[in-house]
Amino acid sequence: MYNWFDAPFFGVFRVRAPILIIRDPKLIKSVLVKDFNYFVNRGIPTNFQDPLSCHLFNLEGDKWRNLRTKLTSAFSEGKIKKMVILLQECSGIFEKLINEASISNAPVDVRELTVNFMIDVIGSCAFGIQINALTEKESEFHRAAKKISKPGFKSQLWRLLRTSIPQVYKFLGIQINDPNVTKFFQDVVKQMVALRESDGSRQRRNDFMDLLVDLKRKNQSNRHSDQDNIEFDENMIAPQAYVFFVAGYETSSNTIAFCLYELATNKEIQNKVKAEIALVMKKHKELTYESIKEMKYLEKVILETLRKYPPAATIGRKCENTYKLPGTILTIPAGMRVIIPVYGIHHDPNYYPEPDKFNPDRFDDNNIQIFNTFLPFGEGPRSCIGIRFAKLSMKFGLISFLKNHRVELSDKTITPIKFTVQSMVTSSKNGIWLNIHRDN
């Protein structure tokens, strides 16, 4: 779609709803940052009969602002630092599994490995649960993850139609998620909240669930004075836990797997990353928040992976009030949806020469050309709230692979990668099969 027109913007119809596609970086900045108040909402309707839909990603107006403010503290640098020990524990188990895979001398679907790693990470860092996805064949969380990442035809259809005909979605009380997934997250949250509220002697983990329980307590004590318009009970906690799980495990696991594929394809880059990891590990002896920040080339490798394989192919916003697009004669009416084609921009040779080439050096500090054209986490006040956590967990996953092992293409590797149309995020169709070899 991005290449249909060589113009700053153009329009299309989704069912009967007109949509504006914006390609120009300056206009994109106006929509996402400068004139954000005109485009506060994503235009994804919620439905109380679809309980997991009322999460931060979908909420609108004051409800979104108030909840975003409350949840921001969970992702501060200080809170993320406290999660390092949990990430170290998950990484230790992950490294053992990687070593076992290398001994087999058979191609391994690294995406399946990274999915299990991230499920364990989210379970530990968000919910304080030892899911053991890496060591057990299939946990309840793993089964839920599969249903979320590969929804049925009806669910896919309503995901498409709810933004085009939101009145029908709300009137019919359509439930997008599998009812079993909804019940699973509601039950998990109910149990976790009850456990944490009843056990006064329990040591705080300072994880995501601790924060949600704190917000519930505060809501109860300020019930008559709270002007937030948010009843923060288990019914509100469940969708926040759900979206944290989905956003955390699926996007990060895919990014790690895509990165490993590129490193297997580009051996010089892999050698350079491994050398940096070895140098920092020799200096610090262990992985800490500070030591990982010293791995500048690893950071660039991850950014280039996010450029080539952005988690979301598009960003959507809804115009709330009539808006004149700067420097044009176009007026966007209230209610119209605006789409930012992230994947197309990330692969535009005008911004990224040889866009299909994996080149981490694009992200050198002195390269300002990528300003306004790098959007893997969105931009502006509604950008991804968990950027720090996502990038840190990706780095732990990659270091676990590369510290003592290297990856190579196998006879089962599909080149180029083919993407699935089932998933809500950028994901490979048939896994990513690589050979894993232990360093001599």
Q: What H or E segment, with its residue span, contains residue 331?
A: strand 331-332
Residue pointed to by tokens 């704190």: 214
In angstroms, rounded to a whole number, what is the distance separating the alpha carbons of residues 181 and 187? 10
Residue pointed to by tokens 């979104």: 64
Query: Following DSSP, what letter does each residue of 39-105 receive, concatenated?
Result: S-B------TTSGGG-STTT--HHHHHHHHHHHHGGGSHHHHHHTHHHHHHHHHHHHHHHHHHHHHT
Are residues 303 and 374 in contact, defined by beta-carbon separation less than 8 angstroms? yes
Are residues 16 and 337 in contact, defined by beta-carbon separation less than 8 angstroms? no
Nearest partner of 389 among 313, 292, 312, 269, judged by Cα: 292
Q: CB atoms < 10 A from the CB of 33, how many?
A: 15
| Residue 319 marked as a ligand binder | no
Tokens encoding 116: 């299990």
In angstroms, rounded to a whole number, what is the distance separating the alpha carbons of residues 281 and 283? 5
Residues facing 331 on adjacent strands: 324
Binding site listing: 384
Binding site listing for heme: 384
